[in-house]
């Protein structure tokens, strides 16, 4: 598994600042070793959340999924223009989770999973900001009794599941949200033939 690294737009950080933030961000190798559960259909989930919340740059969407990957709850908010800090991200995510869904702290083992979709500038390569979001998501999940799920970035190029290598061009940070019903579930193809279809055909002809 390989990861790319983007240079910091803020320039070279001081040693003290890097040391202070290092404990509140996850490096790609740490995230890959954390055993994050894989999503069966990430595009369907991202498309549904994109249609529901219509994110723009700096929008974070936290969503809770049940064991069948059905959406239990979701919330979106805009990231404040401040240095990336995992502790602050954790608090923001935890506040949103507490607002939309009860905690599962009484369970021995987490049943529901929280994922994070973050709409940002740049490309798919990991940044320190991503590392801070990863740390914040993992810690917020622990404090709310949830499993820590995927971290997905939404950029001008499309969506990217960091640590898995899965991605797609749509939706992107620029795309128009799909119709909600289409994003939630594909249309069922009507079946033809068989005795039931024949009965229905005869009834319609009367």
Residue 183 has pLDDT above 80, yes or no: no
**Mean pLDDT score, 47-56:** 96
Put the strands of the sheet holding 166-168 in their side by side order: 71-78, 59-65, 113-119, 147-155, 158-161, 166-168
Residue 66 has pLDDT above 90, yes or no: yes
Q: Which residue has the higher pLDDT, 32 or 18?
A: 32
Q: Please state which CATH number belongs to domain 22-187.
A: 3.40.140.10
**Mean pLDDT score, 16-34:** 73
- Residue 172, Cβ density class (10 Å: 0-12 exposed, 13-18 middle, ≥19 buried): middle
Within a 10 A sphere around the Cβ of 98, how many other Cβ atoms? Answer: 14
| Percent of the chain predicted with pLDDT > 70 | 75
- The three-state DSSP-derived secondary structure of the chain is CCCCECCCCCCCCCHHHHHHHHCCCCCHHHHHCCCCCCCCCHHHHHHHHHHHHCCCCCEEEEEEECCCCCEEEEEEEECCCCCCCHHHHHHHHHHHHHHHCCCCCCCCCCCCEEEEEEECCCCCCECHHHHHHHHHHHHHHHHHCCEEEEEEEEECCEEEECCCCEEECCCCCCCCCCCHHHHHCCCCCCCCCHHHHHHHHHHHHC
Mean pLDDT score across all residues of the chain: 82
pLDDT tens, position by position, 127-160 = 999 999 999 999 999 999 999 999 999 999 999 9
Task: Give the best-scoring range by mean pLDDT among 19-23, 35-39, 127-131.
Answer: 127-131
| pTM higher than 0.75 | yes
The domain limits of the chain are: 22-187
Residue 176 has pLDDT above 60, yes or no: yes
> Please, which residues bridge with residue 63 across strands?
74, 115
Q: Which residue has the higher pLDDT, 162 or 182?
A: 162
Helix orientation angle between 128-144 and 86-100, rounded to the nearest 10 degrees:
40
Within a 10 A sphere around the Cβ of 43, how many other Cβ atoms? Answer: 18
Among the residue ranges 37-41, 55-59, 184-188, the one predicted with the least confidence is 184-188
pLDDT at residue 179 in the model: 65
pLDDT at residue 165 in the model: 83
| Percent of the chain predicted with pLDDT > 90 | 65
């Amino acid at each position: 598994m390989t990861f790319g690294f983007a240079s910091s737009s803020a320039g070279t950080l001081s040693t003290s600042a890097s040391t202070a933030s290092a404990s509140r961000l996850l490096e790609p190798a740490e995230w890959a070793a954390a055993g994050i559960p894989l999503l069966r259909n990430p595009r369907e989930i991202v498309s549904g959340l994109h249609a529901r919340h219509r994110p723009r740059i700096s929008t974070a969407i936290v969503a809770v999924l049940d064991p069948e990957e059905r959406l239990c709850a979701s919330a979106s908010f805009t990231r404040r223009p401040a240095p990336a800090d995992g502790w602050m991200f954790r608090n923001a995510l935890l506040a949103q989770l507490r607002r939309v869904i009860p905690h599962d702290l009484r369970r021995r083992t987490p049943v529901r999973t929280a994922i994070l979709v973050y709409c940002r500038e740049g490309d798919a390569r990991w940044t320190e900001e991503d590392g801070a979001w990863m740390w914040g998501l993992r810690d917020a999940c622990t404090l709310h009794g949830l499993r820590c799920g995927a971290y997905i970035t939404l950029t001008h190029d499309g969506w990217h599941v960091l640590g898995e290598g899965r991605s797609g061009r749509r939706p992107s940070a620029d795309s128009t949200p799909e119709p909600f019903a289409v994003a939630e579930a594909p249309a069922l193809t009507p079946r033809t033939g068989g005795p039931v279809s024949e009965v229905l055909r005869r009834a319609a002809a009367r």
